[in-house]
A and B are shown apart, each in its own frame.
Chain A
């Protein structure tokens, strides 16, 4: 029953149709939240007592870092669906999410490096959190490269899914690196179990920025996946009808 449910709601055709309708709303809401969060954080949130104004990078760095990990987690769920139930759409979504993951992980690494200059006095340190995030960036690139190196798309999908599942071990390492090792990187500012360690005047714009970044990445993901699916299935009748 579960298998038939998954197969019914995971056809590339219905995915493209539903997401095409949702896209403008997701993009508008994402950009609006991101603009609100950033303007609030940059202009109206108070200055940090220790870091001064350089802490304002948090409204970009934290959402980007969270999304870098969430996108990979999403890809690993898709990889399991592809390997266990042979869901074709799941493989398409992995391939589409990987370039979005590359971009957002680059933003996380870049913003962290720039933030490190005034805060730590260095733009790079082989610290557990930064190194594991760099590994995540390399994993994303590896997934794209692996898929592109096969001419047989089905075989590429399967091998890519296996690599994604193997690489998911890095996600808890990134998350827990600041607790497991003594690192230069500060501990999490927001935790599900311990709540937030930052003032509400900073927490509200940060939460809005995270929400906005998530929706913006979903909107970009919708666009990339549509491009990939139409390209991959261009010989199918429904694609001809769709355009």
Chain B
């Protein structure tokens, strides 16, 4: 079940010509999810700082 499905790393990247579709989709999804986390985290820090300043 855990045998590498490709002959080498190049084969893994190209995936018989389907690599461009597969990798594009995963890259876009990963970027969107990661950026969403970072943006919300940043906004939360800004808000916390604003609330702390208002408290003082």
Query: Which A positions have Cβ atoms within 8 angstroms of B?
Result: 38, 40, 42-47, 52-54, 56-57, 60-61, 64, 100, 103, 106-107, 110-111, 114-115, 117-118, 201, 204, 216, 219-220, 223-224, 226-227, 230-231, 234, 239-240, 243
Chain A residues near B28: list those with CB within 8 A.
107, 110
Let me know if A103 and B33 touch, CB within 8 A: yes
In the complex, what residue of chain A is closest to B28 when comparing beta carbons? A110
Q: How far is the CB of A152 from chain B (nearest CB, A)?
A: 22
Count of CB-CB pairs between chains A and B under 8 Å: 94
Let me know if B44 and A227 touch, CB within 8 A: yes
In the complex, what residue of chain A is closest to B3 when comparing beta carbons? A44
Chain A residues near B10: list those with CB within 8 A.
none
From A43, A52, A56, A64, contact of B4 by CB (8 A): A43
Give the docked Cα–Cα distance between A52 and B22 (Å): 11
Query: Which B positions have Cβ atoms within 8 angstroms of A?
Result: 1-6, 12, 15-19, 21-22, 24-26, 28-29, 32-33, 36-37, 40-41, 43-44, 47-48, 51-52, 55
Chain B residues near A227: list those with CB within 8 A.
40, 43-44, 47
Let me know if B44 and A46 touch, CB within 8 A: no
Chain A residues near B19: list those with CB within 8 A.
53
Q: List 12 A-B contacts (CB under 8 A).
A: A42-B26, A43-B6, A44-B3, A44-B5, A56-B22, A61-B25, A110-B29, A111-B25, A118-B21, A227-B47, A234-B47, A243-B51
Let me know if A107 and B32 touch, CB within 8 A: yes
In the complex, what residue of chain A is closest to B23 when comparing beta carbons? A42
Q: Decide: A44 near B18, CB < 8 A? Known: A216-B33, A226-B44, A243-B52.
A: no
Q: Tell me the dominant secondary structure on chain A's binding face.
A: helix
Q: Tell me the dominant secondary structure on chain B's binding face.
A: helix
Let me know if A103 and B47 touch, CB within 8 A: no
Chain A residues near B18: list those with CB within 8 A.
52-54, 56, 118
From B3, B4, B17, B41, contact of A223 by CB (8 A): B41
Let me know if B5 and A46 touch, CB within 8 A: yes
Give the docked Cα–Cα distance between A227 and B51 (Å): 12
Let me know if A60 and B47 touch, CB within 8 A: no
In the complex, what residue of chain A is closest to B55 when comparing beta carbons? A240
In the complex, what residue of chain A is closest to B46 when comparing beta carbons? A227
